Chain A
Amino acid sequence: MEFLNNVLVKPFADMAAAPDFLIQVLWEGLVGGVLYALIALGFVLIYKSSRIFNFAQGIMVVFAALTLVGLHERGIPAYLALPLTLAVMFVLAVSIERVVLRPLVNQPDIILFMATIGITMFLIGFGELIFGGENKVMITEQLMIPTGSFEFEPFGGFVSIEQKDLTAVIGAVILVAALLYFLNKSKIGRAIRALGDDHQAALSVGISLSTIWVIVWFIAGVIALATGIVWGARAGVSFALEVIAFKALPVLMLGGLESVMGAIIGGLAIGILEKVFEIYWGQPLLGGNTEAWFAYMLALLVLLFRPQGLFGEKIIERV
């Protein structure tokens, strides 16, 4: 009885007792969710256009952030370091397409997946070799991201919203809107979606596979840079950040591997739910740190009822 009370009643009583704390928790979860959504978006773009499950997306986030901070450390001002980092991400996209993807066209999915794990390890070694493995501080101020915080007092409580988090959320919304516009309205965007629907048909109407792949990997790189700046501002830049890549995977399961909307909604849902679960159930009842697995278990439960995720394409199999 005591146990049932702890699981079913007490958490909600706590929520009602301190609504300001609940709002704070929800906000923290939302910011985390936005980041998960951004990483998942990079995955989805590449998966849609090439059926490659790009494990390296998480490490691209770290690599982009590390390049930005590393360049700045060597005395390059922020307004130059940013375009230079973008250039590095472009070179990365081109070389991945040339060196890794082109020779592996038409191989089974699992081989390409392993190749992206190879890319992950290469980037970890390369990044640490050049910029060093220690934790770095993101150049928040040089990029003109505000660092103060807004404070509210709803219901007689106290809620603090950091300005950089707010900037992150707004930036992410703009980025996603631009991306959706690009995918749906521009010529290249249509070509990307065509490739996602049917490779051969797209090739036969003159869409260049290799160009589109470079573009898609570059867009994924840009998203990675944006994610890296935001996450780096919160937690510092080091390869410990790669764990967030693992956080984005359940988002994909929940939202569906092919769906842009799924990545966004799944990311927000997982970000908020895992935070709420950790604070109200995980820490008092399970000894904390449940964020490591909660998202996976949630996604697993959803998958049992919808094997293609919430928004994924229905899987039709023929013999």
Chain B
Amino acid sequence: MFYRTAGQFKTTYQADHALFPVRQDAVLLGIVLILAFVVFPLTASEFAFRALLIPVLIYSLAALGLNVLTGYAGQLSLGTGAFMGVGAYACYKLISIFPEMNIVVALALSGFFSATVGVIFGLPSLRIKGFYLAIATLAAQFFLVWLFQKWAWLYNYNASGAIQVPNIDFFGITVAGPRAPAIVQYYFVLCIVCLLTFFIINITRGRIGRMWKAVRDMDIAAELVGINLMKTKLLAFFVSSYVVGIAGALFVFLWRGAAEANLFDIPLSFRVLFIAIIGGLGSVLGNFLGAILIVALPVVISSVPEAFGLPLSSATVEHLNIMIIGALIIAFLIVEPHGLARFWAVIREKLILWPFPH
């Protein structure tokens, strides 16, 4: 009833291939965008920006990048955290070498650094498949984090070994650094995330996306129908690492404000992988749903005992937190192995038929 598709006729191929063949989807997206651009900024507190909204957006972007590689091109990667680190350190070096550089340009360029590193570590994917490749990407993870620690040039020979984000202006408005207001940072991240999401949606819908899916489903068959495996796989690594690198730069510059090498260690990679898998591999929407879940869950869980007045120490809450997240991941996988995006698809099907299911 609310989701009636009857009467929406397509008379051209173009209309059939449109981004939103069903009108209600477009309306729904419009509502979400209005929420994101107007309602949240008006209502959210400083805490909500820092603890929920900005991290959700950044994690979504990172998961989106990983999803290009794992969900669309079928190459399992466990090294996302390190590629985020490459983006962050590249952006930091660019800003400190060229302090006049516009932050958007620096972000866009730092993506190319992580993309290059991604392609280098993607080279083994031409020979290695499946779990062997997954472990091979761990080589990138451990090697790069080691490099972040040992190569002092990367963090400008700071005694602390950490990178500190300076105050950065974007056309007269401070967007990064200790002086930047949260709402400005939120809008800045939101715009970049929207732009890159739009780019990814279109790339995965087109010729390149189909090549990736063919390689994912069976690479030998894809090769036989004339797809150049090397180009396709490396392109997937390139695009994926580019997006992940920008997510990493945003992660440090617009959210954390400072970073040490071990921030990019394996837990970060796994968190992004969780988001991509719980959200749904091979979907764009899923990354956002997954990120909302994974970011909001700890916040919710740690506020529950307080709400009930239970006297739990913070260490206990922390342990319970890990335990519950682990159990929830298993539960989600059992209930819907294809992720939250599939969950939404099922609901949508039901809504289209409702109230006459047969």
Tell whether, in the assembled complex, residue A125 and residue B326 are in contact, meaning their CB atoms are under 8 Å apart.
Answer: yes
A128 to chain B, nearest CB (A): 4
Tell whether, in the assembled complex, residue A308 and residue B132 are in contact, meaning their CB atoms are under 8 Å apart.
Answer: yes
Specify which of B145, B270, B277, B324 is in contact with A292 (CB 8 Å cutoff): B145
Specify which of B142, B277, B326, B334 is in contact with A293 (CB 8 Å cutoff): B142
Tell whether, in the assembled complex, residue A111 and residue B337 are in contact, meaning their CB atoms are under 8 Å apart.
Answer: yes
In angstroms, Cα B145 to Cα A109, docked, is 28
A281 to chain B, nearest CB (A): 14
Specify which of A125, A249, A304 is in contact with B320 (CB 8 Å cutoff): A125
Tell whether, in the assembled complex, residue A115 and residue B277 are in contact, meaning their CB atoms are under 8 Å apart.
Answer: no
Contact residues in A for B129 (Cβ distance below 8 Å): 307, 315
Tell me which of B128, B142, B266, B273 has the highest count of chain A C-beta atoms within 10 A of its own C-beta. Answer: B142
A contacts with B: majority SS: helix
In angstroms, Cα B142 to Cα A109, docked, is 24
In angstroms, Cα B223 to Cα A256, docked, is 26
Given known contacts A104-B337, A114-B329, A292-B142, A319 and B135 CB-to-CB distance under 8 angstroms: no
Given known contacts A103-B334, A293-B139, A293-B146, A253 and B329 CB-to-CB distance under 8 angstroms: no
Contact residues in B for A125 (Cβ distance below 8 Å): 319-326
Contact residues in A for B273 (Cβ distance below 8 Å): 114, 117
Tell whether, in the assembled complex, residue B146 and residue A290 are in contact, meaning their CB atoms are under 8 Å apart.
Answer: yes
Query: How many Cβ-Cβ contacts under 8 Å join chain A to chain B?
Result: 139
Tell whether, in the assembled complex, residue A119 and residue B220 are in contact, meaning their CB atoms are under 8 Å apart.
Answer: no
Given known contacts A125-B323, A257-B131, A315-B129, A296 and B150 CB-to-CB distance under 8 angstroms: no
Tell whether, in the assembled complex, residue B131 and residue A115 are in contact, meaning their CB atoms are under 8 Å apart.
Answer: no
B93-152 contacts to A, CB under 8 A, are 124, 127-132, 134-136, 138-139, 142-143, 145-146, 149-150
Contact residues in A for B281 (Cβ distance below 8 Å): 110
Interface assignment of B218: CB less than 8 Å from any CB of chain A: yes
In angstroms, Cα B135 to Cα A297, docked, is 11
Tell whether, in the assembled complex, residue A122 and residue B142 are in contact, meaning their CB atoms are under 8 Å apart.
Answer: no
Given known contacts A121-B322, A122-B323, A289 and B150 CB-to-CB distance under 8 angstroms: yes
Please name the residue on chain B nearest to A122 by beta carbon.
B326
A44 to chain B, nearest CB (A): 12
Please name the residue on chain A nearest to B78 by beta carbon.
A249
Q: Interface size class for chain B?
A: 35 or more
A132-177 contacts to B, CB under 8 A, are 133
Per-residue interface assignment for chain B, residues 293 to 325, with 1 indicating a CB less than 8 Å from any chain A CB and 0 otherwise: 000000000000000000000011001111111
Contact residues in A for B139 (Cβ distance below 8 Å): 250, 293, 296-297, 299-300
Interface assignment of B191: CB less than 8 Å from any CB of chain A: no
Interface assignment of B327: CB less than 8 Å from any CB of chain A: yes
Tell whether, in the assembled complex, residue A121 and residue B323 are in contact, meaning their CB atoms are under 8 Å apart.
Answer: yes
Tell whether, in the assembled complex, residue A121 and residue B320 are in contact, meaning their CB atoms are under 8 Å apart.
Answer: no
Tell whether, in the assembled complex, residue B333 and residue A297 are in contact, meaning their CB atoms are under 8 Å apart.
Answer: no
A89-123 contacts to B, CB under 8 A, are 99-100, 103-104, 107-111, 113-115, 117-123
A67-98 contacts to B, CB under 8 A, are none
Given known contacts A104-B337, A125-B321, A303-B124, A246 and B316 CB-to-CB distance under 8 angstroms: no
Tell whether, in the assembled complex, residue B132 and residue A129 are in contact, meaning their CB atoms are under 8 Å apart.
Answer: no
Interface assignment of A269: CB less than 8 Å from any CB of chain B: no
A-binding residues in B (CB < 8 A): 70, 76, 124, 127-132, 134-136, 138-139, 142-143, 145-146, 149-150, 218, 220-221, 224, 266, 270, 273-274, 277, 281, 315-316, 319-330, 333-334, 337
Give 13 new A-B contacts, CB below 8 A, not counting A125-B325, A292-B143: A100-B334, A103-B334, A119-B330, A121-B326, A125-B319, A125-B322, A249-B138, A293-B139, A293-B143, A300-B139, A303-B128, A304-B124, A307-B132
| Interchain residue pairs with CB less than 8 A apart (30) | A103-B334, A107-B337, A114-B329, A115-B333, A117-B270, A121-B323, A121-B325, A122-B330, A124-B323, A124-B326, A125-B321, A125-B322, A128-B319, A129-B320, A129-B323, A250-B139, A257-B131, A287-B150, A289-B149, A292-B143, A292-B146, A293-B146, A296-B138, A299-B139, A303-B127, A303-B128, A307-B129, A308-B132, A317-B220, A318-B220
B-binding residues in A (CB < 8 A): 53, 99-100, 103-104, 107-111, 113-115, 117-126, 128-129, 133, 246, 249-250, 252-253, 257, 286-287, 289-290, 292-293, 296-297, 299-300, 303-304, 307-309, 315, 317-319
